[in-house]
Amino acid sequence: MALLIDGYNLLFAAGIVGPIRGKRGGESSRQALLDFVVDHLPEREVKRTTIVFDAADAPPGLPRQFSHRGIDVRFAPRNTSADALLEELIERSPDPRRLTVVSSDHRVQRAARQRGAKFVDSDQWHAELRRVAAQAAAAVEELKPDHALSPAEVDAWLREFGGPNGRRRENP
């Protein structure tokens, strides 16, 4: 586990908060948060990420632990808190120096500090993810040509790579 996230803490810091009450509870907000994290982390980090939520808002019938697109998702046992489970996971970490804890909760940050783990406030971590995503999008946009291809250029590329009117060249 390289990344340990306080789920509801990040959910509120990120502003991904839908209706919390009712039969479905915060399920849509949790789902949006999980998708946001998966979509913004490198694949190798997704597989090393655990997000912890309090059980009070867990949907009925949902297991205490499951995988969402590669992220380990856990709900704290009833009558305890996500903070307590986060502290337990920090304590059990075999190499806490390689662990980053995302939480604005000072209790969780203290537990991370005591074990030598890195920690970052949820709002700062969320802002950094968004900043990196914006930079990547800008870099892709910069690579796009600033003009449309001419018909001759299109024909040349079709001949090069094959297409409806061209055969692929074997050796250029």
Print the domain residue range for 24: 3-127
Is residue 84 a part of any domain in this protein? yes
Is residue 132 a part of any domain in this protein? no
DSSP 146: S
Is residue 59 a part of any domain in this protein? yes
At residue 165 the predicted structure's pLDDT band, cuts being 50, 70 and 90, is: low
Is residue 150 a part of any domain in this protein? no
Total of domains in the chain: 1
Q: What's residue 151's pLDDT?
A: 87
Is residue 29 a part of any domain in this protein? yes
Q: What's residue 53's pLDDT?
A: 94
Q: What's residue 19's pLDDT?
A: 58
SS3 168: coil
Is residue 80 a part of any domain in this protein? yes
Q: Give me the helices (H) in 41-121, please.
A: 43-46, 82-92, 106-115
Q: Which of 2, 17, 9 is nearest to 124 (CA)?
A: 9
Q: What's residue 150's pLDDT?
A: 83
- CATH classification at residue 86: 3.40.50
Is residue 104 a part of any domain in this protein? yes
Cα(64)–Cα(45) distance, integer angstroms: 22
Q: What's residue 139's pLDDT?
A: 76
Q: pLDDT, tens digit, for every residue of 110-163? A: 999 999 999 999 999 999 999 988 888 887 766 666 778 788 888 887 888 776
Q: pLDDT, tens digit, for every residue of 90-116? A: 999 999 999 999 999 999 999 999 999
Is residue 138 a part of any domain in this protein? no
Q: pLDDT, tens digit, for every residue of 39-86? A: 999 999 999 999 999 876 566 777 889 999 999 999 998 888 999 999
